[in-house]
Structure 1
Amino acid sequence: MDISPKASRPAGRGPAETFTGEVSVTPLFDTNDDRSFSSARVSFTPCARTAWHTHPGGQTLIVTAGTGWVQEWGGDKQRITEGDVIWTPPGVKHWHGGTSETAMTHIAIQTFVNGRPVDWLEHVTDDDYLR
């Protein structure tokens, strides 16, 4: 058994290269010899969001607080709220974040494929976000 105390997993600011707005990322667990996936708690202030991205092994989001948006490339934004579980299949271009008026926190779980969990793409423009 391995216990990872909260103090050993400090939150960090989401980097401007991959996020817009104020985002806090708290690692929960990493891959290890027996586990090929990792997880983090990600908190978005209103209007904060990820850049467009894909996951080679897919991604599961579990909304733990607030209300947010998730959108697949070419689709409509979908409202997500506390308790929602979202599965994005491998290779699907998408983004997620808070609404323009509310914060949102989710737990993200993603599988590593060939040593990477995510492929970051361009930022979601303000126009696209507000649409």
Structure 2
Amino acid sequence: MKKITIIGITVLLGLIQACSTKTEKQESMKTDKNELNAIFPIGEKGPAEWFTGNAYPTSLLEADSVYTTIAGNVYFEPGARSNWHTHPSGQILIITDGVGYYQIEGQPIEIMKKGDVVKFPPNVRHWHGASPDTGVQQLYIIPNTEQGIVEWMEPVSDEEYNKK
């Protein structure tokens, strides 16, 4: 019985120590909601012909004839967004941090946040980017690149963006 009590106390002390370590780590984390935890390095600033504001795309998977899929990461600073565009085979976004907006033409603006997966059907006009106050980081996946990758169109106006 004494042996079981000593083991129990040892386990309990270990749990208390683990919990207090977690609390110290949580306290040392940044509390600024606008700071995102980058999974991938932020790339070079994207061209003004494709983005309004500061957006930083980084390619992670180049197109090839075997996988016929590209993937990358884009970090949008608050207020930044893509132009209207389409993808011949559609697009998938996986939101890895922050808060953003997206819109399919003719539909209302939707909010996207960390953990969301957004699918854009083939050849459907849409845009996506950060919310006005918080940046957003997303992984993008474009399948079947043999059909084409993207057709860029006009910028999303401030009036369109602020309809949220």
- Fold conserved (TM > 0.5)? yes
The equivalent residue for 1:58 is 90
The equivalent residue for 2:159 is 127
Helix, strand or coil at the partner of 1:86 = strand
- With over 3 angstroms needed to count, the CA separation of the structure-2 counterparts of 1:10 and 1:105, relative to structure 1, is closer
Q: Which runs of 5+ in 2 are unaligned?
A: 1-40
- Find the partner of 2:130 among 98, 106, 109: 98
Helix, strand or coil at the partner of 2:78 = coil
- Find the partner of 1:78 among 99, 110, 116: 110
Helix, strand or coil at the partner of 2:65 = coil
Helix, strand or coil at the partner of 2:112 = strand
CA distance in 2, matches of 1:95, 1:33: 27
Percent sequence identity over aligned pairs? 38
RMSD: 1.3
Deviations 1:9-61 (A, max 9, x none): 98221110000000111110112231111011000011100000000010000
The equivalent residue for 1:26 is 58
Bigger relative CO (Cα 8 Å, ≥ 6 apart)? 1
Deviations 1:92-115 (A, max 9, x none): 10000000111000000112144x
| Runs of 4+ off more than 6 Å | none
TM-score by length of 2: 0.72
CA distance in 2, matches of 1:128, 1:35: 36
Q: Larger Rg: 1 or 2?
A: 2
